[in-house]
Amino acid sequence: MKYNKEKREIISDKEISELDKFVLEFITILEKHIDYVIISGYISILLGRARATEDVDVFIKKISLEKFSEFYEDVKRAGFWCLNAEKTKEVFSYIEDGLAIRFAKQGQAIPNFEVKFPKRQIDEGTFEDFITVILSQGKIKISSLERQIAFKRYYLKSDKDIEDAVHIEELFKEDIDYDKINKLKQIVETIED
């Protein structure tokens, strides 16, 4: 795995898992309609950590109902379904109200995509400092390593999240901007749920 900090790219030679295939399939549809960034637990899995997950969290930029409808029709045609609701307006109302919407393959509930609009300014920042992970079968946009570490270590704080942060730090210790982590830490520690 090679990280080019200037290009904000990670080139991975990992063997593609079933979860990676699921992510690539969904992302291929998503990116035709909406700008996105993967956040949270799947990132450490993508970067080689052996652990399970039931969902893949993703921020999408805010869009209109019309644009969302186009995406929703495409995703249904590709064999995905929304776990929250069926009708387009109802599904869109969830995400518009600040709730996550979940998509899985037809007839399944997990794994699923947890899709949401960013709620805070710090969440919006994921679109400014994302990294592209290049796999043999496609590309995936993820939040920055520093953002991952700060959120996992200082906001989420569960054992699993701390282990995710440690994995990323160990893997990319030469390339991590610890000043950026400290700045994000100060912001993260002020977040109220």
Three-state secondary structure readout of 51-70: CCCCEEEEEECCCCHHHHHH
pLDDT of residue 193: 64
How far is CA 93 from each of CA 4, 20, 89, 96, rounded to the nearest angstrom? 39, 29, 6, 5
Average pLDDT for 4-29:
96
Q: DSSP secondary-structure letter at 16?
A: P
pLDDT per position as a tens digit, 112-168: 999 999 999 999 999 999 999 999 999 999 999 999 999 999 999 999 999 999 999
Q: What sign for the dihedral angle of Cα 87, 91, 94, 100? A: positive
Complete domains list, the chain, with CATH: 2-188 (3.30.460.40)
For residue 64, give every residue at least 6 positions away whose Cβ sits within 8 Å of its Cβ, in sequence order, or none. none
pTM: 0.94
Average pLDDT, the chain: 95
Average pLDDT for 16-26:
97
> How much of the chain, in percent, has pLDDT values that exceed 90?
95
Tokens of 158: 């569960």
Lowest mean pLDDT among 50-54, 70-74, 78-82: 50-54
pLDDT tops 80 at residue 13: yes
Average pLDDT for 61-87:
97
User: Please, which pLDDT band fits residue 52 given cuts at 50, 70 and 90?
Assistant: confident
Average pLDDT for 94-102:
96
User: Please, which pLDDT band fits residue 191 given cuts at 50, 70 and 90?
Assistant: confident
User: Please, which pLDDT band fits residue 192 given cuts at 50, 70 and 90?
Assistant: confident
